[in-house]
Chains A and B, each alone.
Chain A
Amino acid sequence: MVNLKNYNVILKHFVVILTMLFAFGCSNQKEYVSKIEGKQIAVTNLNGENTEIEAFVRPYRENIDKDMNEILAYAPETLEKSKGKWQTSIGSLQADITLASADKIFNLREKKSVDICLLNHGGIRSIIPQGNVTTRTAFELMPFENNLVVVALKGEQILEMADYIIKERKPHPLSGIQIILNKDEKSYKSISIQGKPLDLNKTYYGATNDYLYNGGDSMYFFKKGTAVYDLDYKLRNVWIDYFKEVDTIPVPQIQRIIVE
């Protein structure tokens, strides 16, 4: 290659000639695919481990494990997202702690309170198993780097939000809002926010994440908000800071959606 570099200029001329030779002289020599074989090979422990790779990964793994295994709190019972039609224990807890965090920061920065929180059911990626809660629990619950945002919403958008929830029929994490559904569960009877009936002329502040604000999970009502504030606070860190703060994880009891 060193030699080639020195003769680069000469080679460039050669290339032109040779390419032409190749193009004309060897035009019948093109290669054609005659047979294709395709398969999938499972990567299992039968393959054996490459020791060099394993040794390379080890210090990275040990460094992470040191943090991940740190015990932050204790859960007397398992909180999960698979039980509950209109709300789940883990979803309600997430919405409650996210609302509390957002409210604290928003009060400091904007001197305003946050009224409600809506996140998405699909955004809960794991469970809080009964026993010790570690940093790993938070990473498994929320692997993404989504930020906490606060959106200024008109009463009209709160109605759209209620319609969305009824249409979706999913236990999306909710806090600060109570929706009473009619018996058929296809329409609402009343909506209250922070214990007071919804006022269509009022601006409410809603906590969510940047993914949902930008239309994730088709929550397009957030984008109609009149203002948005990025709190530069990751949803995962909301969990971690909360776990650090409490000793024992409570099971939320307040019903956010009630069927009449």
Chain B
Amino acid sequence: MKRRDFIQGSVAGSALLTVGGLSLSSFDTLETKCITVLHTNDVHSHIDPFPADHPRNANMGGVARRATLIESIRKENPNVLLLDAGDIFQGTPYFNYYGGELEFKLMSMLNYDLATMGNHDFDNGLEGFAAQLPHAEFDFVSANYDFKNTMLDRIVKPYKTFKKAGIKIGVFGLGVELEGLVDKKNYKETIYNDPVETAQEMTRILKTQEKCDLIICLSHIGYSYKNEPNKISDLNLAAKTKDIDLIIGGHTHTFLDKPTIVKNLDGIDTLVNQVGCYGINLGRIDFYFDKDKNKSNHGRTIVV
């Protein structure tokens, strides 16, 4: 795993970009910039497609097919961010046999940029997760799991920023409450913090400190809970926060007809999406950028 020093990396990155920007003196480009966010969640070790005689998902999914699909999208627009919202582990013998090695290797081959941790990613304990990290050429983020008293301290970071086509994108992670869901011996001293407070802190950092143009929350807290409407979920989080452009969710294995639009604290539309489970679907969100604040700030068009 490429464990680049976080600060060093971002300093060098911004220097390179600023120098490049000046020398070309091209702050103004005429063409509209587009960032394509592709995402999966709850793949649960489903590497092979479902068999043809499967009662529900016959012939669906499969990593080799997902790879072809992603490749064709990258050809169309190279400015792709490929994300996973957790529960990569557990569900087929591939996980029981190889402990997640194959899942991480394949995601690296598909050039995943970032993932967050789902509750099942703790199934072989923190040790089991850490043991597979050398096979992952992408990072994990989680802002509300405090790993300071565990072996994942400083390995799983709160957020990560990317620059694509001059657009700065900040992605932070959120995890589900572990108590009562995951055996304590598997998460040890991991501390779960409130997702709303964490998200407010993250958006403040990503917007004012990191000056991100786009803020994405990679969440495994669940889409919504019918029997517990007040339980924290992606829909509740979207309404209780601001400055998040997109929440990519997982955990509840929710199949949506289309991404959900939610009004945030500022009354601005934010997008919540989740694509079921088992790699049956790939989510795709395209963000188009404009430099004219008056034109875009209040009137962002959302086509779903």
Task: List residues of A whose CB falls within 8 A of some B CB.
Answer: 1, 4, 8, 11-12, 14-15, 18-19, 21-22, 26, 28-45, 47-54, 56-57, 60-61, 63-64, 68, 136, 139, 143-145, 210-211, 214-216, 236
Whether the Cβ atoms of A34 and B289 lie closer than 8 Å is yes
Name the residue of chain B whose CB is nearest to the CB of A41.
Answer: B282
- Within the complex, the shortest CB–CB distance from A29 to chain B, in Å, comes to 5
Q: Is A34 within 8 A of B106, CB to CB?
A: no
Partner of B65, one of A19, A31, A36, A45: A45
- Chain A residues whose C-beta falls within 8 Å of the C-beta of B94 in the assembled complex: 60, 64
Q: What per-residue 1/0 map shows which CB atoms of B19-57 lie under 8 Å from chain A?
A: 101100001100011000000000000011100000000
* CB contact between A42 and one of B166, B280, B301 (< 8 Å): that residue: B280
Contact with A along B287-300 (1 / 0, CB 8 A): 11111110111011
Interface pair B282/A40, CB less than 8 Å apart: yes
How far is it, in angstroms, between the C-alpha of A145 and the C-alpha of B93 when the chains are bound?
A: 11
| Shortest Cβ gap from B277 to chain A (Å) | 12
Beyond A30-B213, A32-B213, A40-B281, 14 extra complex contacts between A and B, CB < 8 Å: A1-B12, A19-B18, A32-B296, A32-B300, A33-B214, A34-B295, A36-B303, A38-B259, A40-B259, A45-B49, A45-B65, A48-B68, A57-B63, A63-B97
Complexed CA–CA distance, A1 and B124 (Å): 38
CB A77 to nearest CB in B, in angstroms, measures 20
B150 within 8 A of A: no
A35's partner among B49, B90, B292, B303 (CB-CB below 8 A) is B303
B69 neighbours in A (Cβ, 8 Å):
41, 43, 47
Chain A proximity of B255: nearest CB distance (Å)? 9
Q: Which residue of B lies closest to A139 (CB)?
A: B93
C-alpha gap A242/B124 in the complex (Å): 24
The answer to whether B290 touches A31 (Cβ under 8 A) is: yes
Q: Identify 17 residue pairs between A and B in the complex whose beta-carbon atoms are under 8 Å apart, listed by A's number.
A: A1-B12, A26-B27, A29-B28, A32-B292, A32-B296, A34-B300, A36-B302, A36-B303, A41-B284, A50-B64, A53-B110, A60-B47, A60-B94, A64-B94, A139-B93, A143-B91, A215-B180
Contact assessment for A60 and B98 in the assembled complex, using a CB-CB cutoff below 8 Å:
yes
A173→B258 CA distance, assembly (Å): 40
Is there contact, CB below 8 Å, between B102 and A11? no
The 4 A-B residue pairs with the shortest CB-CB distance, nearest first, are A50-B67, A34-B290, A34-B296, A38-B259
Known: A4-B16, A53-B106. A64 touches B288 (CB 8 A): no
**In the complex, how many angstroms separate the beta carbon of B112 from the nearest chain A beta carbon?**
13
A224 to nearest B CB, angstroms?
16
* Residue of A4, A40, A45, A51 contacting most chain B CB atoms (<10 Å): A40
Which residues of B are found within 8 Å of A210, using beta-carbon distances? 183
Are B102 and A57 neighbours in the complex by a CB distance under 8 Å? Answer: yes
Knowing A18-B18, A29-B27, A33-B289, the reply to whether A54 touches B303 (Cβ < 8 A) is: no
Given known contacts A31-B33, A48-B65, A43 and B93 CB-to-CB distance under 8 angstroms: no
Question: A43–B66 contact, CB under 8 A?
Answer: yes
Output the nearest chain B residue to A63 by Cβ-Cβ distance.
Answer: B97
Instruction: Verify B282–A44 contact, CB threshold 8 A.
Output: no
* Residues of chain B from 256 to 285 with CB closer than 8 A to chain A in the complex: 256, 258-259, 271, 273, 275, 279-285
> A131 CA to B180 CA in the complex, in Å?
38
Asked whether, in the complex, the Cβ of A36 is within 8 Å of the Cβ of B11, the reply is: no
Complex Cα distance A47/B288, Å? 26
The answer on a CB contact under 8 Å between A37 and B303 is yes
Q: How far apart are the CA atoms of A117 and B291 in the complex, in Å?
A: 66
Whether the pair B184, A214 counts as a contact (CB closer than 8 A) is yes
Given the complex, which residues of A lie within 8 Å of B15, measured CB to CB? 4, 11, 14-15, 18
CA distance A44 to B283 in the complex (A): 14
> Residue among A1, A11, A42, A54 with the most chain B CB within 10 A?
A42
CB-nearest residue of chain B to A46: B65
In contact, B65 and A145 (Cβ under 8 angstroms):
no
Q: Which residues of B contact A32 (CB under 8 A)?
A: 213, 289-293, 295-297, 300
Interface contact B291-A30, CB-CB below 8 Å: yes
In the complex, the answer to whether A41 meets B68 with C-beta atoms within 8 Å is no
A68: shortest Cβ distance to chain B, in Å? 6
The complex places the Cα of A120 from the Cα of B68 at a distance, in Å, of 41
A49 touches B68 (CB 8 A): yes
Do the beta carbons of A36 and B64 come within 8 Å of each other? no
* Complex contacts, A144 vs chain B, CB 8 Å: 90, 123
